[in-house]
Amino acid sequence: MSSDKANTLYLLRVAAFGFHAGYAGAALALLDWAWQLEHGNKEALPSKGHYQSQSDLDSEVKGQVSKGVQKNKGKPPRVLVIGALGRCGKGVSRPHVILDKHTNFKIT
């Protein structure tokens, strides 16, 4: 092997996450935010099963975030999305569209 090849770093993508992975992750993060406001760090967010539809998940997130905003003196969660223009990042950014109408939720 030549010294040029020995000093070359090859970056290979071994996994790629898409829109729905980002969407589900963002929804769980918002549910966890609301859970921690209610329960503190004493216990973890309980496991979530599957939802029959996206609207079922959206309804739960809206309801829990609304409660969290009330518990947090009217302040919505602050969110930073790194890579928001990628496949997964677009999914992460989607819940703000759903919540924006109901909680004054904004991605900042």
Assess if residue 26 is contained within a domain. yes
Question: Which pLDDT does position 47 carry in this prediction?
Answer: 93
Total domains in the fold of the chain:
1
Assess if residue 35 is contained within a domain. yes
Question: Which pLDDT does position 77 carry in this prediction?
Answer: 85
pLDDT means per 10 residues in the chain (108 residues)?
Answer: 62 78 89 94 91 89 91 87 82 68 51
How far is Cα of residue 28 from the mean position of the Cα atoms in its chain? 6
Assess if residue 9 is contained within a domain. no
Assess if residue 10 is contained within a domain. no
CA dihedral 32, 78, 89, 55 (to 10 degrees): 50
Domain residues for the domain of 74 are 17-40+49-103
Give the three-class secondary structure for 56. Answer: helix
Assess if residue 57 is contained within a domain. yes
Assess if residue 31 is contained within a domain. yes
Q: Supply the CATH number for residue 53's domain.
A: 3.40.50.720
